[in-house]
């Protein structure tokens, strides 16, 4: 039987899911053969199912285990723009035994001397320098930059055109906003948020929100 690509289910019905389908098409075209074949998108409820406008069929999250049982191996992707939601979905599905979690990487992205975990999504025009390390289930949006020896933990989202300079460590479940810059050598704590366009010039505590140029912690209360 001719190889048709690894079957894949996409967890989510939003715009990032549509972008992932386009990325998969780009991967298949670049390889001149099917690498992945999207079987379905999974919706959390009827409301989110109704928001899906793509041609790929929709299934309910509650039916995922039964759906996965139709395949010896089923690739799963979680294209969501919220770190906490990515982690929440993974916690729901991690016990499904025949799920595997590929890294979906645009074919023009250079991954030489890079360490990758599983389940990462890396979009077009992303630049990653030597020695960078990514954990699991991170989303690197269009045109973002990771400098040399950057470490990104798990379930983190890097926005379009964001720049994370050399030797920065970004804690898990963090969000680096559109066009933000994190200067070299800094540490961004777990579950931190760096606002769009912010320029971070000092270490950021866990669960801190940094806004402005230079970025300062958002006042609480």
- The domain 6-100 having CATH identifier 3.40.720.10: the answer here is no
Check if 6-100 and 108-209 are the same fold: no
Cis ω for the linkage preceding 186 (within 30 of 0): no
Q: Distance between CA 182 and CA 201 in Å, rounded? A: 7
Q: What DSSP state is assigned to residue 28?
A: H
Percent of the chain with pLDDT over 90: 85
Higher-pLDDT residue of 151 and 46 is 151
| Mean pLDDT across 6-31 | 95
Q: What is the pLDDT of residues 161-179, one digit of tens each?
A: 999 999 999 999 999 999 9
Judged against a pLDDT cut of 80, whether residue 205 lies above it is answered with yes
* Mean residue pLDDT across the chain: 94
Judged against a pLDDT cut of 60, whether residue 221 lies above it is answered with no
CB 134 within 8 A of CB 104: no
Residues 6+ apart with CB under 8 A from 63: none
CB 37 within 8 A of CB 5: yes
Return the closest-CA partner of residue 171 out of 192, 186, 201, 150.
192
Judged against a pLDDT cut of 90, whether residue 111 lies above it is answered with yes
**Burial grade of 179 (CB within 10 A; 0-12, 13-18, 19 or more):** middle
| Mean pLDDT across 99-111 | 96
The CA-CA-CA angle for residues 43, 78, 167, to 5°, reads 155
pLDDT of residue 49: 63
Tell me how far the alpha carbon of residue 211 is from its chain's centroid.
Answer: 23
Q: Which helix (H) or strand (E) holds 216?
A: strand 216-217
- Domain 108-209 CATH class label: mainly beta
Judged against a pLDDT cut of 60, whether residue 84 lies above it is answered with yes
Q: Distance between CA 20 and CA 122 in Å, rounded? A: 9
Q: Which two tokens stand for residue 76?
A: 């799963």
Domain ranges for the chain = 6-100, 108-209
Q: What is the pLDDT of residues 27-50, one digit of tens each?
A: 999 988 899 999 999 998 766 666
Q: Which two tokens stand for residue 161?
A: 């055109």
Tell me how far the alpha carbon of residue 142 is from its chain's centroid.
Answer: 11
Q: Distance between CA 164 and CA 186 in Å, rounded? A: 9
If DSSP states are collapsed to H, E and C, what string results for 85-126?
Answer: HHHHHHHHHCCCCCEECCCEECCCCCCCCCEECCCCEECCCC
Buried b (16+ CB within 10 A) or exposed e, 141-169: bebbbbbebbbbbbbbbbbbbbbbbbebb
Q: Which two tokens stand for residue 101?
A: 């979690």
């Amino acid at each position: 039987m001719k190889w048709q690509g690894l079957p894949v289910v996409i967890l989510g019905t939003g715009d990032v899911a549509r972008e992932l389908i386009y990325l998969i098409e780009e991967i298949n075209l670049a390889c001149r053969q099917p690498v992945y074949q999207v079987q379905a998108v999974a919706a959390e409820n009827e409301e989110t199912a109704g928001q899906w406008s793509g041609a790929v069929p929709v299934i309910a999250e509650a039916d995922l285990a039964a759906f996965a049982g139709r395949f010896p191996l089923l690739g799963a992707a979680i294209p969501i723009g919220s770190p906490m939601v990515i982690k929440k979905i993974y916690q729901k599905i991690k016990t499904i035994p025949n799920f595997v979690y590929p890294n979906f990487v645009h074919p023009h992205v250079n991954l030489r001397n890079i360490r990758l975990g599983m389940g990462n999504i890396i979009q077009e025009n992303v630049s990653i320098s030597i020695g960078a390390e990514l954990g699991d289930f991170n989303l690197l949006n269009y045109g973002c930059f990771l400098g040399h020896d950057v470490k990104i933990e798990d379930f983190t989202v890097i926005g379009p055109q964001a720049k994370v300079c050399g030797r920065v460590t970004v804690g898990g479940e963090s969000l680096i906003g559109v066009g933000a810059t994190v200067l070299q050598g800094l540490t961004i704590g777990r579950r931190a948020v760096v606002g769009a366009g912010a320029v971070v010039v000092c270490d950021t505590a866990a669960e801190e929100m940094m806004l402005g140029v230079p970025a300062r912690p958002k006042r609480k209360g």
